[in-house]
Amino acid sequence: MNKEEAKKRLYELYSIIEEHNYNYYVLDAPTVEDDEYDRLMREVKSIEAQFPELVTEDSPTRHVGGAAVSTFEKVTHTVQMGSLQDVFSEEELYRFDSTVRSEFEPAYSVEPKIDGLSVSLEYRDGVLVRGSTRGDGFIGEDITENLRTIKTIPRKLAEKLPLLEVRGEVYMPRDSFAKLVAEQEENGEQPAKNPRNAAAGSLRQKDSSVTAKRSLGIFIFNVQQVEGKSFTRHSETLDWLAELGFPTVGHKVCQNIDEAVARIREIGEEKHGYPYDTDGAVIKVDDLAQRESLGSTAKVPKWAVAFKYPPEEKETVLREIEVNVGRTGALTPVAIFDTVQLAGTAVSRASLHNQDIMDRLGIAVGDTIAVRKAGEIIPEVVRVTKHGGGVLYRLPDICPVCGHPAEKCGDEAAVRCTNPGCPAQLLRRLEHFASRDAMNIEGLGEAVVKQLADSGLVKSPADLYELNEQDVLSLAGFKAKSAGNLLKAIENSRQNQPDRLLYALGIRGIGRRSAELLLRKFGSIDGVMNASRDDILSIDSFGEVLADSVTAAFADGQMRELMEKFREYGLKFDYDKAASGDKFAGLTFVLTGTLPTLKREQAKEMIENMGGKCAGSVSKKTNYVVAGEAAGSKLTKAQELGVAILTEQQLLEMINGE
């Protein structure tokens, strides 16, 4: 891989991982197995090791995956709430120990890794004053009132220390999760996927009385900061916290790595009997002075690692393969099998993804299969353990929904329905078109979209702009006010910038950032529609796959007809550079330190939206360095080179034209 290929692949990987992080940490709706996520991260690390000059500040190896969302007030963490380096074998544990023992003779604290939502609790003069989520490690969300509903969290402490901040993991017990899912299914609601997501969703309820009904628990596993008390060992802090009334994580001090590995094996055997989910075990240097000396990288401490257990596997019999059709026409096979208990929940179905994977498995209805939950979240078929004598399964060559031909295109793994008017595709396309990052049509959720499609009122996204009040009132659940709100949201979407429209079209591989880059390059939707493959390839970070995807989409006659309808309905086609901003065109910024209110990714997006560029290091070509708290060496270098230094407030003033 040469440098240019590495740069494009890194950009692609950054985008993929950022989307997975957003789905997991912000939406509480993971869409990828832990194994696949870990594989992507390993690929990033491998490329960055080979080409360190390509590493940027927004690399997923440089920051925690979470983000603060707008529902709650933001909280800036005085002490970073970082993540841990994952390891997947005992060999890696011994390598970790070897690194530590090159400096010290450590004892280790070994603890179960609770699968929940990481939070901070702050006490002043012994009274709980604030609770917050981890967010991206620097900025989280204030969820104090919801945390107060957890009965095991002390409101007042016996020792009235000036300041105590502790970190813990909020979880939902398995029996509470089973009760919640039963209630959701009875009410016709989408059931929560797993206890971790249920716990996270419960803590983000606007009504704390809803949180109170969810029977959440918490384990405290660290002292973040304390005034008026000192300690020498981590285990000592946990014992002290337990005396204060905190529910602390179970821990065992091991005098060497052999004892620690033995304890990790024990936790692996015990964990399915716990009333809560775990996703591993944590091994930490117990001596706090040794920790301080070992230090941390930009993302993880060097004194601890998290061991991930291999997923639990169960055998079952494959009874059926169901085929679903997505918005891009891809036919996705789903295995239906006898129910098994995995990671504390009942599982009876798992995606088989595509024909290539089924060919690799050699799978047929009637086979005995091994099933697991990757990361204890997403079910998957691992292998066939016993063939039942059936015919190896092949995806149909006709769409199971509309009956049109289904074909495999080029080297793609997916088999796709060739009918753009396929009802199944229409539903998914409409949902995507109305989604928050696309046209952001509030109120146009899955149930409403299905009614519109089933009634024949909407046969393409453009038909949304022909709806009237009578049409909407004909749908179940709508009255005058809600109908008016939906129509207003549709009307407001006409004013969206065209990069949203381009993303909303659902062109394979084109996300919000890619859509914005296309509009910046070509100036309008028309410019993108008429761009050649070579023109698109000239955009930094665009490779052959994306270029082919865009040109193929606009070579389709039906897509062209759809775009003409959008034009007739008054949607914006010309990219408004003044609105999007070209004020920073030709300027290079470097972000360093912790900003008071903005997370780094937000500031980066603002700068890029104004036409500027964000670099990872300071040089003579740098125009501005935006410096926050603990800015470090980049600030020093900027001062040495005479580069202009901005505070967050000064950056915002530049953006707002003040």
Rounded Cα–Cα distance for residues 6 and 363 (Å): 36
Identified catalytic residue from 8, 113, 271, 284: 113
Cβ proximity of 131 and 120 under 8 Å? yes
CB atoms within 10 A of CB 76: 17
Place of tokens 């690390």: 45
Structural tokens at position 113? 């890794």
Place of tokens 């005085």: 78
For the CA atoms of 87, 91, 94, 100, the dihedral, rounded to the nearest 10 degrees, stands at -50
Rounded Cα–Cα distance for residues 586 and 609 (Å): 13
CB atoms within 10 A of CB 333: 21
Phi and psi, residue 615, nearest 5°: -110, 160
- Secondary structure element (H or E) that encloses residue 263, with its range: helix 257-270
Q: Is 565 a catalytic residue?
A: no
Q: Cα angle vertex 29, ends 434, 330, to 5°?
A: 60
Q: Got the DSSP string for 68-107?
A: --TTS-EEE-SS-----EEE-SHHHHHHHHHHHHTT----
Q: Got the DSSP string for 164-213?
A: EEEEEEEE--HHHHHHHHHHHHHTTPPPPSSHHHHHHHHHT-SSHHHHHT
Q: Got the DSSP string for 566-619?
A: HHHTT---B--HHHH--TTTT-EEEEESB-SS--HHHHHHHHHHTT-EEESS--
Cβ proximity of 279 and 375 under 8 Å? yes
So which residues are the catalytic ones? 113
